[in-house]
Homo-oligomer: A and B are copies of this chain.
Amino acid sequence: MRTREDCLQADLHDPLAPLKQQFELPAGLIYMDGNSLGVLPRAAAARSAAVIGQEWGAGLIRSWNTAGWFELPARLGDKLARLIGAGPGEVVVTDTTSLNLFKALAAALRIQQHAAPQRRVIVSERDNFPTDLYMIQGMIDLLQQGYEMRLVDETLPLEQALDDSVAVLLLSHVNYRTGHMHDMAAVTARAHARGALAIWDLAHAAGAVPVDVTGADADFAVGCTYKYLNGGPGSPAYIWVAPRHSQDFWQPLSGWWGHQRPFDMAVAYEPAGGIRRYLCGTQPIVSLALVECGLDISLAADMAEVRKKSLALGDLFIRLVEERCAGHPLTLVTPREHALRGSHVSIRHPQGYAVMQALIARGVIGDYREPEVLRFGLTPLYLGYADVWDAVEVLKDVLDSGAWQQPEYSRRTAVT
């Protein structure tokens, strides 16, 4: 693709193009932040009106039965399972990614406590999404049992970090900042070979890259539904537990919805069989129900086509930025190699924050992450090749003109 016309031709022949019609996309925007918040499915307006007007308003308390609210976390979990290589009855959509990590971590540590009680190290990456690290720290501080967090970074490679003191390895499949993707099967095998359990955070992966938790022999996985899965702002997250572990223990956030017979109102907690024990309290039904609108679009897509287009969009973006913006102090952060790349591309610029604000002001919406990183999400379900072409032209203009130097673009907002 050497010209904009080439890009338009590629869009015309894109097998995923019909799915774009299932989203409401604001006119005049090039939205490259679907890795942070996905776009609005057209079906969501009617679905929310039905949940609010009919299910809540008219059905009221009866809707727990008649509208299937009680089954919703498991029913949506079964749909989500198909996007991550899990089976039915292995996933629930519930709570937040952070909380589901806490559940998975508690469970993994308990399993290890029985199997290998001397293992007291939790390994992650210094560059992992901070909330993952914060949840580890919260758990360690709570337990006061001598656990410690060990972080892989340029001074400590993963191979070296995984010694026989490690209980759990907790990684993101695709890094939130760099877009680097791990080989889940290979890394899990390495962890298992060293006696550690593997927990995967799929927040930046599910719906964007092929994920196969079963094939990778992972132990636990969690993720969110509001990025590539277009579930809506802050829509509930999900948790998968390998069937070999799901009956092993309680998870400690043991609320009524995880009880074997919640309506017996028994005093003693008794966990439900399988994945339902990972439910805790009452879920936000309106936000939860909307998850299905986005899931259904992802399930209608051929994931191999999604991956193929994601990489093609990434290759095009990287090449165009390097050609068109040559001479500006840009550094590619994301790996070029396909096997190492997720579905967003990150580029460093010394004044990254201001550059991104100038882009947003011109209708190209990506986001900024410390330090100096411009992130561009490549979402094959609704982003086209010509969009990528146009975005790079706007970036070139912002850089060539020095427009990003306007003082207003350096002013920080609450959420960056």
Interface residues of A, Cβ cutoff 8 Å to B:
24, 26, 29, 31, 33, 36-37, 39-40, 44-45, 48-49, 51-53, 55-58, 60-65, 69-71, 95-99, 102, 106, 126, 129-131, 133-135, 137-139, 141-145, 151, 177, 224, 226, 232-237, 250-256, 258-259, 262-269, 280-288, 290, 360, 365, 367, 369-370, 413-416
Q: Chain B's nearest CB lies how many Å from the CB of A366?
A: 9
Q: Are A263 and B133 touching (Cβ within 8 A)?
A: no
16 example contacts (A-B, Cβ-Cβ < 8 A) are as follows: A24-B53, A39-B57, A45-B53, A60-B365, A69-B234, A71-B414, A95-B95, A97-B281, A98-B255, A99-B281, A134-B269, A135-B254, A139-B252, A142-B252, A234-B288, A263-B415
Q: Are B33 and A134 touching (Cβ within 8 A)?
A: no
Q: Are A130 and B48 touching (Cβ within 8 A)?
A: no
**CB neighbours of A69 from chain B (8 A):** 233-234, 415
Rounded to whole angstroms, the CA-CA distance of A280 and B49 in the bound complex is 29
Q: Are A143 and B141 touching (Cβ within 8 A)?
A: no
Copies assembled: 2
Known: A99-B253, A253-B102. A56 touches B139 (CB 8 A): no
Q: Chain B's nearest CB lies how many Å from the CB of A140?
A: 9
Closest 3 CB pairs of A and B: A96-B281, A284-B287, A98-B281
Q: Are A142 and B143 touching (Cβ within 8 A)?
A: yes
* Cβ-defined partner of A134 (8 Å) among B49, B224, B254, B263: B254
Q: Are A253 and B98 touching (Cβ within 8 A)?
A: yes
Give me 19 other A-B pairs in contact (C-beta within 8 A), A99-B255, A235-B284 excluded: A31-B60, A39-B57, A44-B56, A51-B233, A56-B233, A61-B365, A63-B233, A65-B413, A95-B281, A96-B255, A96-B283, A98-B281, A130-B256, A130-B262, A130-B265, A131-B255, A131-B281, A133-B267, A265-B369
Q: Chain B's nearest CB lies how many Å from the CB of A414?
A: 5
**CB neighbours of A133 from chain B (8 A):** 267, 269
**CB neighbours of A106 from chain B (8 A):** 142
Residue from A63, A99, A130, A283 having most chain B Cβ neighbours under 10 A: A130
**CB neighbours of A237 from chain B (8 A):** 281
Q: Chain B's nearest CB lies how many Å from the CB of A365?
A: 6
**CB neighbours of A61 from chain B (8 A):** 33, 36-37, 365, 367
Q: Chain B's nearest CB lies how many Å from the CB of A78?
A: 17
Q: Are A266 and B130 touching (Cβ within 8 A)?
A: yes
**CB neighbours of A52 from chain B (8 A):** 40, 44-45, 48, 232, 290
Rounded to whole angstroms, the CA-CA distance of A70 and B413 in the bound complex is 11
Q: Chain B's nearest CB lies how many Å from the CB of A279?
A: 10
Rounded to whole angstroms, the CA-CA distance of A57 and B25 in the bound complex is 7
Q: Chain B's nearest CB lies how many Å from the CB of A293?
A: 10
Q: Are B370 and A264 touching (Cβ within 8 A)?
A: yes
Known: A96-B280, A130-B259, A284-B235. A137 touches B268 (CB 8 A): yes
Q: Chain B's nearest CB lies how many Å from the CB of A117?
A: 12
Rounded to whole angstroms, the CA-CA distance of A233 and B68 in the bound complex is 12
**CB neighbours of A70 from chain B (8 A):** 414-415
**CB neighbours of A416 from chain B (8 A):** 263
